[in-house]
């Protein structure tokens, strides 16, 4: 069984994924972003790459997938690097997996 891959976000960030066969879904607003991601979750896409520009305020996405094995949600930093939301989320996930905060207090950890 093949796993479907998708990328959602601003065109410049997700366009390179098309080269390797990932379906891309360019969006320009937070509401459009959340709507497209929810559709992909309902379609049972296996891996979804998300531009972290739109993640702040999109907690509903993580609530919907938190107890499910799929999809795997991967935040992609934009040209200016990872957003604070993405850093905090990654730090919390690593802390939960390891049982200790190994990323420390430094912002440049990610």
CATH value at residue 44: 3.40.50.10580
Q: How many domains are there within the chain?
A: 1
Query: Is residue 56 situated within a structural domain?
Result: yes
Query: Which has more confidence, 37 or 84?
Result: 37
Query: Is residue 12 situated within a structural domain?
Result: yes
Query: Is residue 24 situated within a structural domain?
Result: yes
Highest mean pLDDT among 41-45, 76-80, 89-93: 41-45
Strand order, beta sheet including 5-9: 23-26, 5-9, 47-51, 72-76
Query: Is residue 68 situated within a structural domain?
Result: yes
| Sequential DSSP letters for 69-103 | S-PEEEEE-BTTB--HHHHHHHHHHHHHHHSS-TT
Average pLDDT over residues 7-12: 94
39 is in which domain, residue-wise?
5-80
Query: Which has more confidence, 110 or 74?
Result: 74
- What pLDDT does 107 receive? 55
Average pLDDT over residues 81-94: 70
Would the pLDDT of 103 be above 80? no
- What pLDDT does 65 receive? 83
Query: Is residue 32 situated within a structural domain?
Result: yes
Query: Is residue 108 situated within a structural domain?
Result: no
State pTM to two decimals: 0.76
**In the structure, what pLDDT confidence band is assigned to residue 60 with cuts at 50, 70 and 90?**
confident
Query: Which has more confidence, 90 or 74?
Result: 74
Query: Is residue 103 situated within a structural domain?
Result: no
Query: Is residue 23 situated within a structural domain?
Result: yes
- What pLDDT does 35 receive? 94
What does the block give as tokens for 90? 């990654």
Decide: 49 and 76 in contact? Cβ < 8 Å: yes
């Amino acid at each position: 069984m093949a796993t479907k891959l998708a990328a959602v976000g601003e065109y410049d960030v997700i366009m390179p994924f098309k080269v390797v066969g990932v379906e891309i879904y360019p969006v320009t607003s937070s509401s459009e972003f959340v709507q497209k991601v929810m559709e992909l979750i309902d379609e049972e896409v296996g891996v979804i790459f998300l531009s972290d520009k739109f993640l702040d305020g999109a907690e509903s996405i993580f609530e919907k997938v938190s107890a499910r094995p799929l999809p795997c949600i991967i935040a992609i930093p934009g040209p200016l690097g990872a957003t604070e939301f993405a850093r905090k989320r990654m730090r919390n996930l690593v802390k939960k997996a390891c049982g200790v905060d190994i990323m420390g207090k430094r912002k440049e950890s990610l």
